[in-house]
Amino acid sequence: MGFEEVYRVAGIKSPKQGYSITKVIEMLQSEHIRSLGADTKRASLLMALEAAGIQVDEVLQDATLRQRAVNSYEAIQRKHLEEYEARKAQESCAIQAEMERVAAEYAARISNNLDEVSREKDNFRKWQGRKQLEAQRISETVALCVTPGNVKAITEGMAPLREMASAGEPTYGHRG
């Protein structure tokens, strides 16, 4: 709100003959007075007011009313600003809490994924251990089936089983 609007809302009316403090300020900005020294400015101003029939007290009273209006408006604006700031701070806290809640949800999901992968790795390692035992049992049983006449054929046939028993990786295909 501009100052004139502040003064109007505060009910300040221009004094008689329009000599408000604002008018006096404008007079002091005149090129005829602006460059004068303080004493000369004062004398010129008092002389102009006297010539217009304006009491200095009227101008001072107008200045006081306008200053009070501006101060009052400032206090109201400060209160509005503080309330606005408090609302925005509250809103920011809510956003922060929501952000932390969502981050915690995602962290929990990531943790679950890591746990699931860990369980799957454990299951796979257990299966590999069982596979090695199975390959060893097969190999031992095949070895019992060997006779001097079929040693070469069985030895060639057992190579994949020995690989399977010693390797940690599964063999899913078959040799043809």
Total structural domains within the chain: 1
Q: What is the pLDDT of residue 157?
A: 65
Contacts of 66 (CB under 8 A, 6+ apart): 3, 7, 12, 20, 21, 22
Domain with 70 in it: 3-166
The residue ranges of the chain whose pLDDT is under 50 are 171-176
> How many angstroms separate the CA atoms of 129 and 57, rounded?
106
- Torsion (CA) 9, 15, 18, 23 in degrees, nearest 10: -70
In a domain, 176, yes or no: no
Predicted pLDDT of residue 155: 64
Whole-number pLDDT of residue 175 = 44
Q: What is the pLDDT of residue 163?
A: 67
- For residue 127, being part of any structural domain is answered with yes
CA 10 centroid distance within chain: 41
The one-character DSSP state at 29 is: T
CA atoms of 68 and 126, how far apart (whole Å): 86
| 175 within domain boundaries | no
DSSP state of 173: S
8 Å CB contact between 58 and 19: yes
Residue 174 lies in a domain: no
pLDDT attached to residue 174: 44
By C-alpha distance, which of 19, 15, 10, 4 is closest to 50?
19
Q: Is 15 exposed, middle or buried (0-12, 13-18, 19+ CB in 10 A)?
A: middle
pTM: 0.57
Look at residue 151 in the predicted model and tell me its pLDDT.
Answer: 65
Give CA torsion, residues 160, 161, 162, 168, to 10 deg: 90
Residue 172 lies in a domain: no
Single out the residue of 10, 23, 12, 77 nearest to residue 54, CA to CA: 23
Asked if residue 66 is part of any domain, the answer here is yes
Domain assignment present for 88? yes
Q: pLDDT digit string (tens) for 76-96?
A: 999 999 999 999 999 999 999
pLDDT for 167: 61
Q: In this structure, is residue 86 part of a structural domain?
A: yes
